[in-house]
Amino acid sequence: MPRIGVLGAGFVGLTSSACLAELGNEVICCDIDEEKVEQLRQGRVELFEDRLEKLVLRNQETGRLQFSNRNQDALTGVEAVFVCLPTPLGTSGGADVSAIWDCLDAISCTLSPGSVVVMKSTIPIGLGVEIAEVLDRSSLNYVSNPEFLREGSAVADFLSPSRIVLGSNDRSVAEKVLSYFGRVECPVVFTDISSAETVKYASNAFLAMKVSFANQLSVLCAKTDSNMQDVVCGMESDDRIGRGNLTPGPGWGGSCFPKDTRALVAISRSLGHRFSMVEETIEANERHQQLISERILCSTELTNPTVGILGISFKANTNDYRESPSIRIAHQLIAAGARVSMFDPVISGEIRISDQFTLHASISPIDACEGADVVVVLTEWKEFSKLDPFSVASVVSSRRVMDLRNILNRSDWKRAGFTFVEFAK
Ligand code: UGA
């Protein structure tokens, strides 16, 4: 059984560890956060991620998955180490890769010669070639293996991937890494290191661009009385366009699209190239959210309306609200003088809206809608589509609703006396 180390027990590291163990590898996952490691040892997963806790528990029981807070343990007696460390947005707009450099010495000194370092973290294009050169001096191999895991369906994405991309200087080493993924039924793309890194950024930027395209198209559809869903259906049937990421909403957010689009722009700019389509995608997203805020504010004709927001996370099935459209829109509303309440089925406590504002998450959707002049749905949680509009009607100030995820049953809500505020019209 191959023994694999994983550095980092965040969303990518923990999902990779549990899934690699599930696929029959012996995995030792390390994180410097002692408390997190202790919780994981007890089988408790803080992340709200479908199937992940079950997989962690099951594989710990079989002994194939272990946790440690000493990085050294992920580097000793292993034939490969997967680097899953955070690379947040740095001050210059590119990725901050200090966590990677910090552990490079330990990797070079501890891993046995001939072992492989597999880079799962998203790092600037070209950095992998530099890292590979450093590792080569200690007779270590390097493979770039970008991750394509969506929050909320990360386990499914890992176990049934759309594709596996392996970038290296040595095909046989890349094939060795592929063997850790069990029986592979998806396309496998072997590339050089920089190309693999570029695939990651290009994929996220393209997906973000698709969402922004859908958001702008939906405005045109509203103005021309075209049915957006039918239009998307007609488009998606063309393989060249492809399915997915054409559902309009309050704009894209999360920990990946915003970070990776900005990094791609910064990388391009540093090379004297203006990747204008990605720049415009970022601007289009910001404009979209600004317009939504303005539409909410003018829907009530009040100077300081009360707004009940349903949904805090950046999409359903996750408790992540980093760069969430809900947070950005709430910030714009509060800054314009609105009173805002927010509810999310999996987020509670203090919510940091910006440096100046925090608010306490409401304890129920009804609580968030109490006294609202307009109710706004910003996250596509199933719970919201099942909300009883009559209960909401009994607590709001005005029966006005804006459904940016298109999940409410319009006739039920209209029957309860609600008027729908349309974004586009
Ligand atoms: C994204 C990519 O989809 C993954 O392939 C990638 O691995 C991951 O980033 C990453 O780089 O780690 P994720 O951030 O979990 O995954 O989110 P998505 O499901 O792609 O959604 C991103 C945003 O676009 C969300 O705010 C979502 O609500 C929005 N979206 C997505 C739409 O508004 N409409 C759509 O049709 C699809």
The tens digit of pLDDT for each residue in 38-84 reads: 999 999 999 999 999 999 999 999 999 999 999 999 999 999 999 99
Take atom 28 of ligand 1 and give the residue whose Cα is closest: 315
Q: Does residue 253's CB lie within 6 angstroms of at least one atom of ligand 1?
A: yes
- Report the nearest-CA residue for atom 33 of ligand 1: 249
pLDDT of 202 above 90:
yes
Mean pLDDT for the stretch of residues 149-155: 97
Question: Residue 204 pLDDT > 80, yes or no?
Answer: yes
Which phi-psi region, left, alpha or beta, contains residue 102 (left: φ > 0; alpha: ψ -120 to 50)?
alpha
CA distances from 264 to 117, 147, 162, 301, 419 (A): 24, 16, 22, 41, 42
Nearest CA to ligand 1 atom 31: 245
CB of residue 258 inside a 6 A radius of ligand 1? no
Instruction: Check pocket membership of 150 for ligand 1, CB cut-off 6 A.
Output: yes
Cβ-count burial of 80 within 10 angstroms (0-12 exposed, 13-18 middle, 19+ buried)? buried
Q: Provide the β-strand partners of residue 344.
A: 347
> Is residue 93 over pLDDT 80?
no
Mean pLDDT for the stretch of residues 351-365? 96
User: If you average pLDDT over residues 86-109, what whole number do you get?
Assistant: 90
Evaluate: CB of 365 within 6 angstroms of ligand 1.
no
Would the CB of 207 count as within 6 Å of ligand 1?
yes
Tell me the average pLDDT across 251-278. Answer: 96
Task: Give the position, in ligand 1's atom list, of the atom nearest the Cα of 154.
Answer: 15
Checking if the pLDDT of 423 tops 90, the result is no
Ligand 1 geometric centre to CA of 169 (Å): 30
Closest ligand 1 atom to 208 CA: 24
Q: What whole-number percentage of the chain has pLDDT above 70? A: 100
Q: Which atom of ligand 1 is nearest to the CA of 204?
A: 2
Select from 121, 210, 245, 246 the residue to mutate for testing ligand 1; criterion: most ligand atoms less than 8 Å from CB.
Answer: 245
Atom of ligand 1 nearest to the CA of 250: 33
Q: How confident is the model at residue 404 (pLDDT cuts 50, 70, 90)?
A: very high
Q: Which pTM does this prediction carry?
A: 0.96
**Cβ–ligand 1 contact at 147 (below 6 Å):** yes
Concerning whether 221 is annotated as a catalytic residue, the answer is no
Burial 389-421 (b: 16+ CB within 10 A, else e): beebbebbbbbbbbbbbebbeeeebeebebeeb
pLDDT band at 424 (very low <50, low <70, confident <90, very high): confident
Q: Are 51 and 85 in contact (CB under 8 A)?
A: no
Is the minimum distance from the CB of 229 to ligand 1 under 6 angstroms? no
In angstroms, the Cα distances linking 418 to 27, 403, 413 are 54, 12, 6
The residue contributing the CA closest to ligand 1 atom 6 is: 148
161 lines ligand 1 (CB under 6 A): no
* Reported confidence tier of residue 330, pLDDT bands at 50, 70, 90: very high
Catalytic residue among 30, 103, 256, 369: 256
Mean pLDDT of 225-244: 96
- pLDDT above 80 (res 152): yes
Average pLDDT estimate for 328-357: 97
CA nearest ligand 1 atom 9, residue: 256
Looking at residue 425, what is its pLDDT? Answer: 67
Residue 154 beta carbon below 6 angstroms from any ligand 1 atom: no
CA 217/CA 246 separation, integer angstroms: 9
Contact 75, 109 (CB under 8 A): no
102 Cβ contact partners less than 8 Å away, ≥ 6 residues apart: none
Q: What is the 3-state secondary structure (H, E, C) of the chain?
A: CCEEEEECCCHHHHHHHHHHHHCCCEEEEECCCHHHHHHHHCCCCCCCCCCHHHHHHHHHHCCCEEEECCHHHHHCCCCEEEECCCCCECCCCCECCHHHHHHHHHHHHHCCCCCEEEECCCCCCCHHHHHHHHHHCCCCEEEECCCCCCCCCHHHHHHCCCCEEEEECCHHHHHHHHHCCCCCCCCEEEECHHHHHHHHHHHHHHHHHHHHHHHHHHHHHHHHCCCHHHHHHHHHCCCCCCCCCCCCCCCCCCCCHHHHHHHHHHHHHHCCCCCHHHHHHHHHHHHHHHHHHHHHHHHCCCCCCEEEEECCCCCCCCCCCCCCHHHHHHHHHHHCCCEEEEEECCECCEEECCCCCEEECCCCHHHHHCCCCEEEECCCCHHHHCCCHHHHHCCCCCCEEEECCCCCCHHHHHHCCCEECCCCC
What is the average pLDDT score of the chain? 96
